[in-house]
Amino acid sequence: MDDRDEHPIPEPTRRAWQKTVDLMADVLRVPATAIARVTDDGVEIVVAGRTSGNPYATDERLEPGAAELWRAAASASAPLRVTSFETDAQWRELGAALGMASALAMPLRWPSGSVFGAIGLMGRRESQETARTERLLEQFQELVEMHLALLAQQATLRERWRRDALTGALARGEFFDLGRQELKRARRYGEPMALVLLDFDGFDAVNDRFGHAAGDRVLRIVTRLAQDSLRESDGYFRLGGEEFVVLLPHTELDNAVRIAERLRALIEHKPVELADGEVACTVSMGVSGLEGAGESLDDLLAKADKALRAAKRDGRNRVEVHRRLEGSGA
C-alpha cells in the first residue's frame, strides 16, 4: 500500500477524531483545534473542534495562503510553534486573518513515515504554558497516529483479499463485485462494456516438462505482462486455474476484440525465461459485450465462455467473439 494515496477516512475514525479535537479544546482551553490532511492537491480540515470562534470547519478545503501553516507543520520534524502571530513576520497576516494570537501544531505520519497531515491548536492569547501544552498535544498526536496505523493495516489486508496470492491478478470475488458495479453503471448511463475470457493453451505440458513452480512463474509473468498492457480503467482477474478474465468498461465489442488480439499476440511473442530454458505460451480468448436489456454479469461470462470454447475447438491461440444479436452460435 502507498500511504500517500488518497485513502478515505472511515466514518468511525472521523467520529473518534472529532471527539479528540473537542477534548483538546476542552482540556487545553483553546478556541481552535483541528486535524488537517495535507496532499499535493491541497489541505483539507478533516475534523475541527466544535467550539465557538473556531476559524476552521470540518471538511473545509483551505485556500493556499491559509493552508501554508498546516503544510509547514506536516513536513516539520518537530512541533511548529508560533508563540505570537503578531511578532512573527512569517505568520502575522495569517494570525490577523484568523483572529488568533498563537498556534502549536505537530506532524501526523503514516506507519511508513510518509506525511498524512498535522494536528494543531490556536489560541487568542500568546502561548504561555508551552511545555505542558506540548506534552498534551503529543498524547493526542500519538492517539491519531495509532488510528493511522490501524487504517494502514486494514488497507493492506483488503488489498491482499482483493488479489490472487499466486499471480497478483485481482481475485475472483473482486471480479464479481466490480463487474456488477460496472454493469450497473453501464446500464444507467447507456455505456458499452465488454469481457475477455482467457485460458492458457496446453498448460499441463508446461507443468509436466518444467514442474509446477515453473508453471506458477509463467502465470505470474503473463499476469504482469497483461496488467502492463491494459488501461488503468480495465481489470485483470484470475477466475481459477489457468483461466483469467479482463473487464473492459466503456468498451465497444469491436474494440474489445482488438484489445484481446493485441494481448494474445503479445503473450505469443514473449517467451517466459525459466531456469531450464524458455517456454513459449499461447492463450485462447472469448470476447463478449453487453447486448440488449436484462443481461447479467453471469450472462456476459457465459457468452465469453462459449466464444472461448469455440477458439479452443478451432485451433487455439486465437480470439473468438460472441455476437448474440447477429445470431452467431460462436
Residue burial 78-104, b: 16+ Cβ < 10 Å; e: rest: ebbbbeebeeeeebeebbeebebbbbb
Q: What is the pLDDT of residue 274?
A: 85
Tens-digit pLDDT profile for residues 21-60: 999 999 999 999 999 999 998 999 999 999 999 999 999 9
Residues known to be catalytic: 242
Cell of 1: 500500500
Q: How far is CA 186 from CA 181, 190, 192, 305, in A?
A: 9, 6, 6, 21
Q: What is the pLDDT of residue 2?
A: 44
Cell of 29: 482551553
End-to-end CA distance of the chain: 42
Helix (H) or strand (E) holding 285: strand 283-289
Q: What are phi and psi of 31, to 5 degrees?
A: -85, -20
pTM value surpassing 0.75: no
Q: Which of 70-79, 155-164, 299-308 has the lowest mean pLDDT?
A: 155-164
Following CA atoms 70, 74, 79, 84 in sequence, which dihedral angle do they give, to the nearest 10 degrees?
-20
Looking at this protein, which amino acid is placed at residue 91? W
Domains of the chain: 11-159 (3.30.450.40), 172-326 (3.30.70.270)
Q: How far is CA 114 from CA 5, 47, 105, 325, in A?
A: 10, 20, 17, 53
Q: What is the pLDDT of residue 329?
A: 45
Axis-axis angle for helices 297-313, 172-189 (nearest 10): 110
Q: What is the pLDDT of residue 198?
A: 97
Question: If you compute the radius of gyration of the chain from its CA atoms, what whole number of angstroms results?
Answer: 28
Tens-digit pLDDT profile for residues 139-194: 999 999 999 999 888 877 776 678 898 999 999 999 999 999 999 999 988 999 99
Handedness of CA 141, 143, 144, 146 (dihedral sign): positive
For residue 122, pLDDT over 70 is answered with yes
The CB density around residue 275, as the number of other CB atoms within 10 Å, is: 9
For residue 126, pLDDT over 90 is answered with no
Average pLDDT over every residue of 237-241 = 94
For residue 107, pLDDT over 90 is answered with yes
Q: Which candidate, 145, 143, 177, 142, places its Cα nearest to that of 158?
A: 177
Q: Which candidate, 209, 215, 216, 206, places its Cα nearest to that of 167?
A: 216
DSSP per residue, 39-107: ETTEEEEEEE---TT-S--TTPBPPHHHHHHHHHHHH-SS-EEES-TTT-TTTHHHHHHHT-SEEEEEE
Q: What is the pLDDT of residue 5?
A: 47
Give the mean pLDDT of the chain. Answer: 91
Tens-digit pLDDT profile for residues 253-301: 999 999 999 999 999 999 998 887 888 999 999 999 998 778 999 999 9
For β-strands 193-200 and 235-240, DSSP reports them as unpaired
Q: What is the pLDDT of residue 3?
A: 44
The CB density around residue 222, as the number of other CB atoms within 10 Å, is: 24
Cell of 104: 502549536
